[in-house]
Structure formats: structure tokens, C-alpha cells
Amino acid sequence: MVEWTDTLIQGILLGGFFALSGLGLSLSFGIMRIVNIAHGDFLVVAAYLGVVIVGLVGINPIIAIAIIAPVMYAAGYGLQRSLLNKAVGGSELTPLLITFGISIILHNVLQEVFSADFKSLDAGSIEIASIAIGNIHIGLFPLSILVVAFVVYSALYRIMHNTRFGRIVRATVDDPEVSSLMGVDTKKIYSLGMALSMAIIGIAGALYGIKSSFSPMTGGDQLLFAFETVIIGGMGSIWGTMLGGMALGISQIIGFKIHAGWGAFAGHLIFFAFLFVKPSGLLAKGDQHA
Amino acid sequence: MREGETLSNSGWKIETPLIGPALLALLVIALAAVPFFGGTGTMRLMVEIFAMIAMAQAWNLLAGYTGFVSVGQQAFIGIGAYGLFMVTLKGGIDPFSSVLLGGVCAGLIGAIAAPALFHLRGPYFAIGTWVLAELFRIFITNNDYFGGASGLTLARVLREIPRDFRNDATYWIALTLAASTLVLVYVLLRSRFGLAIRTVRDNESSAESVGVNVRGVKFMVFVIASFITGCAGAVAYLNTMFVTTSAAFSIEWSAFIIFVVIIGGIGTIEGPVIGALVYFFLREWLADFGTWYIITLGSVAIAVIVWAPDGIWGLIAKRYPIRLFPAGAVMRKKSV
């Protein structure tokens, strides 16, 4: 019983990370209809940014997030403005192919610059600290990631529903043409959308770098986990994505318990099970499934 | 076309230039002679090129003609390769006819996975195919029956076959695969089924409304592409005689396939062939610079998508009136 409660809790904590990462992916699709295949590689880039900043300034990687997130925000804005805006509005497959190209370029460039060795960000004692409740130990760091995920989710929800910017974004998503007739600079909105998505990726990427070891090649896995989170959760629903992260986290922890090599495998299986049984995901908006 | 008219009496005809097929036939005959004078290294490289052409044609059939993009082609390459190794090593079947069996394995998996993957639209379908590849990669890596993480080798079986015969046979199989894939795609696209394929790509609901079985068409195309990709994967690893999951199920396969088709010209039959030649030229030329050829290829592909979406063949076709394999049903007014 204790063992299963423990598994459940570990799964939910891991799910907090997937939810955060998945949010970055679903945001760019929600606003620009861009499925960012380079998502996982950007996550890894953020982690390497952490390595560089820690190397240069010698601060704790957790504090470095204050630099990483704005840098990623700016990079997202620039990327959308210079390249991706040329592909928005046409076929959904064009931005897909562009970000796929970026993904392959990024992981090869990272490999040339940082070698293929695994690295990790060291955040000090918080990484091993834990709270004990009865026989169950909850890691302080995974718990903080879950809290960060909730904070980012709530902040995004507020931005989208309570600010002028959020209203403009939602209007642009509903009808880009009419919004642009009303004087909205849709290209600018898309650029800000990508910037926001990349800032979230920046936060998630730094936490990822602290939580696990990473290499230029680990981006692919991270894309798939974020993707599964979004699909299991149900397209177009922010809180669905949160639940999807939990479901994926729990599946992976159970898989990992059965055999150390089966963690990701169990997640992939659950993903396919959802496609067969409930393709609309846990919380889908309307009937439209992915 | 007016009512009661058929294509043949409508005053329009489908352009059927003989120059393309004639050139292809001559080229195949010439290439078939290579084993009589070519060195082992050259032949190995050409087998790779032929396999890549087949893979690129299959992906182009999916993405360029039917409108669904996959970034999980490595699933079928890996399954095809492992299919060949398993039936050869465990089933005792000769490695050459096993190429087809590898393709059948891939086609079968494609058929089973298709109904699930089709729940995913557009870009999400693409990533879904990648998950499929990962599922098989992890499964085989953790399963000693399939050789596990250290992979499988054909050395034991191939030792019994004379070296020259082995190399020549592999070469001819690869050439046959590339040529027959090209012909198959060409014939397929010019058939009634080919018209249905393009209708589905352009608009699924209007395709449905004129009586096209959209799901059926997509299913058939996906299974055919999986089969071809599986055969090509089998050939590629018959060529190296050694397979591991990390190589055969690598995302880089999809990267190369996509770059090849995009650069050569998506939605044309000539494009994948040109793209494959560009790819291997760059790879051999930049061989001393590590992964920079991939970075170059990726950058060129992105530039092509944004600024010249029709690729190299598109640029050529725009400037000069050559059509070698006009699969896009180019219709011409009959001269009276």
C-alpha cells in the first residue's frame, strides 16, 4: 500500500514537470498552429544555457533561470519574427518541417560545441532534501517543480483571460483576418506568443537540467513526452494538459518500477492506448480531437 | 468536361512523355552493369543511394501526394531491417529474399498502427509516428531475443556466401528496389487511385463528397509507404551486415529522408532522386567535418521550404519545359 502511494506521488511529481514542458508545446500550437518539433531541443538548449551561465558567473542554476527565461523569450520572439512568421497561415505542415529542420540542426550544433557527453546542473542541497510524511518521502525539488508548474499555469490563465494582451491573443486565435482588420498586428502577436512559449521552455529546460542528466541527443525524448502530455490531456484544454502530465508521469514511474528500461516505454504504450480507446484525451475542448 | 464525356473523348489528354521512362530504362541498364567493374566501396555507396531513393519516394508519396507528413519513418526502416535479420538468423531464410519479408513486417505494423495514428491530424500525426518508432526501439533494445542493445550481425550467415556474389546481389536488389519504387509510385499516381490520393490531399471533405473513400485511401497509401520503407531499411542494413536499435531507429533517418525530398522537390517523382544525389554529394564532400554536413543540409532544407518550396526540380521545371515523370496529371489540349 505504502509502495503504491509512493509510486502515485512520484508519478504526480514527475507529471508536474511534463505538465510544465507540455504547456510550452501546446501554447505555440494553440496560438500560431505551430507544432514545434524542436521543443525538446530548445529544452536542452535552455539546460546548456544554464551550464554556460553557471560556468561564467558561478551562480546556482535555480537563480540562473532569471537569465535563461528572458534569453529564451527573446530567442522565441526573434525566431518567430525572422523565420516562422513566413510560414504561418499556410499549410500546418510547413512550420512543422521548418521546426524539424531546426531540431536536427540544434542537436548537431550542440554536439559540435558541447560534445555528446552527458551533463547535469548542480543546484546544491535542495536536490536531495525531502519531506517525510509517515513512511513516504517527498523530494523537495520535484515538489518545487510541481509548484512552479501550478504558478506558471495560473499566471498564463490570468494573462489569457484578464489582460488586454490575452484578449487580443484569443481574438487572433479565433479569427486572424478580422482581428487584423480591427488593427491587430497578428504577426507581432504570433511573435509574442512564441516568445512566451519559449520562456516557459526556458524555465522547464533549466529545471530539467537540474532534475536529470542531459546530452545534445536527449531533446527528442523530451519532445515526445511533452507531446504525449498534450494528447493524453486533450487538445485545447490547459488544465487537461496538467492532468495529461500526471497520467504520463504515473505511467512512466510504474513502467520504471517493473524494469528500469521500461519507463518511457510504458508512457508510449499508454499514449497509444489513449489513441485507440479515447483519442480525444482526458479533457477535450468540444468534440474536435487532435 | 461536359456531361457524358470521358477523359478520352473530352479533347484533353494526360501528358505521357516517353522520354522519362526511356531515360530510366537506359539508366537502369547502365547501372546494372556497375558490379562488373565497380569497386566494393563504390557499390556500397550506391546501395545506400538506392535505398535512400526508395525511402524518399515513399515519404514523398505520403507527404507530397497524400498530404500527411511522418517523422517516424525510422520505425519502418528499423522494423524492415530487424525483420530481415530475424528471419535470416532465426528462420534460416536466405538474406536476399528476406528483404521482401522485412518489407512485409513493416507493412503489417503500418497496417496495425494506422487506425490509431489516424486519430492524430496533420502535425500531430507526424509526432505520433515518431512515438511508434520509439516504442519499437525501446522494446527491441530491452529484449535479448532480438540482440538487445548490442545489436545483431549477419556475419555468421554471410560467411557462407561468396563475397562477390553477396555484394553483387545486394547491389542488384537495391537497384531493383529503387527503380521499381519509382515506377510503382509513377503508375500508382497516374491511375484512378492516384487521382483519389491527390483529391484527399487537397481537401478531405470534398474528396468524401465525390465518393472517395478517404480512410481507405489513406490506409492504403500508409501501408504501401511502410512496405517500401521497410524493404529499403532491410537493404540498407543488408549492406552493412550489422544492425543496432540506436542506428536503425534513429530520428536521423527521417531527417535525411525529409531533407532529401524537400531539397529535391516535394510532390514530384524527380525530386527525391535529385535530393538523394545532393545529399550523398554533400556527405562525401564534407566527410572530414563531422556532423557539419547535416547542419548544412538542414539549413538548406529550411531555406528551400521558405523561399523555394518547389525544390530543385521545381526550379528546373519552372524554367525549362521538361517533364520526365508528370505524375501530377498534367493535361494538355489535344491538337486538332
Residue B328 has a pLDDT of: 59
- Burial grade of B34 (CB within 10 A; 0-12, 13-18, 19 or more): middle
Q: What is the ipTM of this complex?
A: 0.88
- Find, in chain A, the residue whose alpha carbon is nearest to that of B301: A101
- Residue B9 resides in a domain: no
- Find, in chain A, the residue whose alpha carbon is nearest to that of B138: A265
Q: Per-residue pLDDT averaged across B314-318, rounded?
A: 88
pLDDT over threshold 60, residue A47:
yes
Q: Per the CB < 8 Å rule, is B71 touching A220?
A: no
The tens digit of pLDDT for each residue in B40-94 reads: 899 999 999 999 999 999 999 999 888 889 999 999 999 999 999 999 999 889 9
Q: Per the CB < 8 Å rule, is B126 touching A279?
A: no
Instruction: Compute the residue count for chain A.
Output: 290
Residue B283: which CATH number? Answer: 1.10.3470
Alpha-carbon distance B158 to A122, whole Å?
50
Looking at mean pLDDT, say which of A171-175, B5-9, B244-248 comes out highest: B244-248
Residues 6+ away with beta carbon under 8 Å from B131 = A224, A227, A228, A268, A271, A272, B72
- Residue B7 resides in a domain: no
- Residue B285 resides in a domain: yes
Q: Does A101 touch chain B (CB under 8 A)?
A: yes
- Residue B31 resides in a domain: no
pTM of the model: 0.90
The tens digit of pLDDT for each residue in B144-168 reads: 999 988 999 998 888 888 988 999 9
Q: Per-residue pLDDT averaged across B311-315, rounded?
A: 92
- Residue B11 resides in a domain: no
- Judging contacts by C-beta atoms under 8 Å, the chain A residues touching residue B251 are 104, 220
Q: Per the CB < 8 Å rule, is A289 touching B119?
A: yes
> Residue A235 — very low, low, confident or very high, per pLDDT cuts 50/70/90?
confident
- Residue B198 resides in a domain: yes
Amino acid letter for position B322: I
Residue B330 has a pLDDT of: 47
Q: Which residues pair with A138 in a beta bridge?
A: A131
Q: Per-residue pLDDT averaged across A142-146, rounded?
A: 94
Q: Per-residue pLDDT averaged across B275-284, rounded?
A: 93
Size of interface A-B (CB pairs under 8 A): 124
- Residue B204 resides in a domain: yes
Give the residue from B124, B201, B249, B283 with the most A CB atoms within 10 Å of its CB, the best one to mutate: B124
Residue B111: CB atoms within 10 A of its CB come to: 15
Q: Per the CB < 8 Å rule, is B305 touching A97?
A: yes
How many domains does the structure of chain B reveal?
1
Domain that residue B71 falls in? 18-24+39-333
Q: Residue B91 is placed in which grid cell?
A: 528462420
Partner-chain residue, chosen from A35, A86, A100, that has the shortest CB–CB distance to B306: A86
Q: 3-class DSSP state for residue A65?
A: helix
Residue B49 has a pLDDT of: 97
- Burial grade of A150 (CB within 10 A; 0-12, 13-18, 19 or more): middle
- Residue B286 resides in a domain: yes
Strands B242-243 and B152-153: antiparallel
Alpha-carbon distance B301 to B303, whole Å?
5
- Judging contacts by C-beta atoms under 8 Å, the chain B residues touching residue A269 are 135
Q: In chain A, pLDDT over 70 holds for what percent of residues?
A: 98
Q: Residue B199 is placed in which grid cell?
A: 483529391
Q: Per-residue pLDDT averaged across A233-251, rounded?
A: 89
Distance from CA of A277 to the nearest CA of B (A): 9
Alpha-carbon distance B51 to B181, whole Å?
10
The tens digit of pLDDT for each residue in A72-125 reads: 999 999 999 999 998 887 787 889 999 999 999 999 999 999 999 999 999 888
Q: Per the CB < 8 Å rule, is A227 touching B131?
A: yes
